[in-house]
Amino acid sequence: MTAKILILDFGSQYTQLIARRVRELNVYCEIHPYNHYPAIDAAVKGIILSGSPCSVRDEGAPDVNLADFGNLPVLGICYGAQLMAQKTGGNVLPSTIREYGRANLSFIHEHDPLFRYLSPQSQVWMSHGDTISAISDDFEITASTATVKVAAYRHKSAPVYGIQFHPEVTHSLEGRQLLRNFVVDICGCAQDWTSAAFIETTVAELREKLGNDKVVLGLSGGVDSSVAAQLLHRAIGANLHCIFVDNGLLRKGEFEQVLHSYQDMGLNVRGVDAKARFYDALKGLTDPEQKRKAIGRVFIEVFDHEAHAISDVKWLGQGTIYPDVIESVSVKGPSVTIKSHHNVGGLPETMKLKVVEPLRLLFKDEVRAVGRTLGMPDNLLGRHPFPGPGLAIRILGEVTPEKVAVLQEVDHIFINGLREHELYDQVWQAGAVLLPVQSVGVMGDERTYENVVALRAVTSVDGMTADWSRLPYEFLAEISNQIINRVKGVNRVVYDISSKPPATIEWE
Ligand code: XMP
């Protein structure tokens, strides 16, 4: 049984960060809504209560039953700390000034295990509108700042701690040490949750769960489905049947290259050339959502057909990862789901298969680490994200095979250039967009009237927000020259300098 820390989410924007930081310490943790968490069993070594956009003074404010935690160590962060203080006989009032930003601890309790190894003036990050004005006699103050008297407190005899600041934010310079003190020293977690350990337990669980059953999995060329496939392959070998569909909307040469690397990894994979079906379905469509729907529909048809060719399949493998899982059960309620176009969606219902998702507990960087430990090639793991509908949503207007061919050349020059200039890894995602616009140019003595392409490169952490990459002018100049000289039909290149929001990453 993997030891774990339970993080109860009260809706703070930082809850996922808490989980990231705990896992960076090689301690496994799970996030659950404060009002809907699994029974606390022996695997749970400690509880963290997150922050919240709510105030404990609001009517109907999120609440928990502290008795539920028994004698387990508890760390309340911000709202979590205020809630515990209030429920145990203390008091919470609106701050006279809103506490936001960096602060330094001016007092730290000498022998408090939570603050062990922290420096006297340690910088912390505050973000709260309420303040703890009093704690009951069972508690004592363990840290203060110049303006916040109860910056931290603890129970005098039980392992119960509250902190007003956010140790998970990097501006809390010694936050990592504080979280280590809690999960390792106070909760007693061994720091043994590593990629290798994850692989070992997951493979064993998959073997147990799947037995001799067959699993079908759609590969996309992306990191998640590839790592999911590798894990399943380790567990059940040839009983994993992978399907990789060429929708004619991939990057230049991508289908062949990726198919080969899958085969090199030993996967039982079938490549399916369905280009013509996708182009047919896209004929005459100009609306982005209609294009997406058509592509999704054909994908399901093709996948379904291929899956039926495998006898007795019981399971559908999917590369779902943790942020999707948390998002769909967040405290905001099940109505808040991720944008539908970012999911494969629809497959399980039509196919009546049970779903197996070996990565559903991992963050993206953990998926990459698992892939690396599994010995997967860097060029696969370090890949930029690429949308499911592929180049179809980067060709504004109707998609034709000819336009795909033009855009593939442009994209190839851009992406290759990024790799050659060692800019690829500095960029979160990059690509080219074929505009339905023609512009006048001059080549030799000839007037030209040809297509415009836009280049897009962004930096981002998760794709939810993004900034345009400040690529060097010299690089952009070289790429623009190469594109105009080499790609027939393009005589103008522009660079997209919009951030998300308000623009999105893709143009459609
Ligand atoms: P936007 O354009 O919404 O993109 O800023 C955010 C991220 O999502 C990708 N994206 C898609 N992925 N199907 C996908 O699988 C889609 O229809 C789709 N649309 C956008 C986009 O490439 C970026 O990584």
* 3-state secondary structure (DSSP) of residue 30: strand
pLDDT tens, residue by residue, 382-421: 999 999 999 999 999 999 999 999 999 999 999 999 999 9
CB 251 within 8 A of CB 222: no
Confidence of residue 297 (pLDDT cuts 50, 70, 90): very high
Residue 347 has pLDDT above 80, yes or no: no
> What is the model's pTM?
0.85
What are the pLDDT digits (tens) for 66-106? 999 999 999 999 999 999 999 999 999 998 877 789 999 99
262 CA from centroid of ligand 1 (Å): 24
Q: What are the contacts of 272-275 at 24+ separation with CB within 8 A?
A: 272/243, 272/244, 272/245, 272/246, 272/302, 272/306, 273/246, 274/245, 274/246, 274/247, 274/248, 274/298, 274/302, 275/246, 275/247, 275/248, 275/401
**β-pairing verdict for 313-317 and 214-219:** parallel
Our answer on whether the CB atom of 500 is closer than 6 Å to any ligand 1 atom is: yes
Return the SS3 of 231. Answer: helix
Please indicate whether residue 441, judged by its CB atom, sits closer than 6 Å to ligand 1: no
In short, whether 292's Cβ falls inside 6 Å of ligand 1 is: yes
Q: Domains in the chain, start-ordered, CATH in brackets?
A: 4-186 (3.40.50.880), 195-381 (3.40.50.620), 399-495 (3.30.300.10)
Tell me the two tokens of residue 267.
Answer: 């996967």
Tens-place pLDDT, residues 191-233: 999 999 999 999 999 999 999 999 999 999 999 999 999 999 9
Q: Give the atom of ligand 1 at the shortest distance from the alpha carbon of 386.
A: 22
Mean pLDDT of the chain: 93
In short, whether 338's Cβ falls inside 6 Å of ligand 1 is no
Ligand 1 mean position, distance from CA 448 (Å):
34
Tell whether omega for the bond before 501 is within 30 degrees of 0, i.e. cis. Answer: yes
For 94, the token pair is: 């609106």
Confidence grade of residue 444 (pLDDT, cut at 50, 70, 90)? confident
- The contacts found for 300-303 with CB under 8 angstroms, 24 or more apart, are 300/346, 300/347, 300/350, 301/277, 302/245, 302/272, 302/274, 302/277, 303/218, 303/243, 303/245, 303/347
Q: Which atom of ligand 1 is nearest to the CA of 429?
A: 24
Q: Is 388 in the pocket of ligand 1 (CB under 6 A)?
A: yes
Nearest Cα residue to atom 19 of ligand 1: 387
Residue 26 reports pLDDT greater than 60: yes
- Strand 240-246 relative to strand 354-356, pairing: unpaired
Catalytic positions, written as ranges? 78, 166, 168
Angstrom distance (rounded) from CA 70 to CA 72: 6
Strand bridging mode 91-108 / 139-145: antiparallel
Span from the CA of 393 to the centroid of ligand 1 (angstroms): 9
Residue nearest ligand 1's atom 10 by CA: 387
